[in-house]
Structure 1
Amino acid sequence: MRAIGMAGAFRRSELAAITVGRVSKDSRGLLVPIGSSKTDQEGKAHTVAMLDGRRLEPVRHYQAGLS
């Protein structure tokens, strides 16, 4: 989860709220929905696109954590 947190620049509370059932695969990586956050004063959810990079490889780490 460290690679996902760093690549998505998530706060601890946002990272802890990520559930496997809400994350979806995209042709380029992952789509991670964020329900609420400290800076989201209006309570609108947003989605963060998580592309798999060479340094952090967040998608590979996410998939390895599932198996």
Structure 2
Amino acid sequence: MAERARAAEVDVILDVVAGVPHVFPMFAGGSLEEADQALDRAALFLTQQLRNGLGTEWRFNPGRR
């Protein structure tokens, strides 16, 4: 999915964390250091994207593939 997003010129970051369950970010808040790091990284990415703005060319299109 990340490669398809990149091919469509969408900003994307894919982090793969070995040795943790699929839903490991649920354990943020001190229970699992990797979860805290993942949420911090996601928050940074979203903050940067929102600060930069979506631009006038962006349009939501749920049917686009």
For normalisation by structure 2, the TM-score amounts to 0.26
Q: Which has the higher contact order (CA 8 A, sep 6+)?
A: 1
Q: Which is strand-richer, 1 or 2?
A: 1
Q: Which has the larger radius of gyration?
A: 2
